Structure 1
């Protein structure tokens, strides 16, 4: 009989989804320590091994960092960000800046080519909101509108 790939239990998948949602929603922001394993077991009502499997999966995907003796910390809000963090953590900051410059200018060029009239109206609205915040001297509103 041929071997087949093992399947992750549906329960572990549900726990992974719940934990991922806590991260992507901002409930657990980057840099924060997530609840301990016993706390997660109690909150989720699942076995310790299920929690371990979920946490390890999210760590493998780059969302969490498991620090022995310290806890488990959120390091990214998406799998892509986690992979990028791991890949470029030791890179020269100048190289990162060069990469970002290249990617962001290409993204801006594509956005300009693919824009719609609705996109232009939305940009006009956002720019007006930013200008109003600047004129009123509301730095917090300006930063929010500029993001």
Structure 2
């Protein structure tokens, strides 16, 4: 049964969504909703991530608070830099951050954190997952930035996922 319906709630949600978006419960739409609800999860099953094993759930709260603080501080810093761009233009740079984190779920969380924090953009991940290329909007000290990134984000994620 699990092979035919790898994600039963997803199947039901897709079928209902199809009917709602079409504003019709005609036999043809019901048939298409059922086909879509059954076939889409089957075709997407290989794309589903591995099951998550969280090792230290208490670290999640600490990381959440730290990321929230960094988001607020970075918003102010980026705003101030943009406001004063004529006096001192931002020193944008690409930074290669060596990674110790290898877990796919941890890397996905790290990419989301990088996306949420203003002034940083996840640009590229090496095929062997050993180096992350990031764009930083205003970089003062590359070594200090790398140390902060690894200490604040990578190490807690390693505690949680590895």
* TM-score, normalisation: structure 2: 0.17
Q: Which has the higher contact order (CA 8 A, sep 6+)?
A: 2
In proportion to residue count, which structure has more strand? Answer: 2
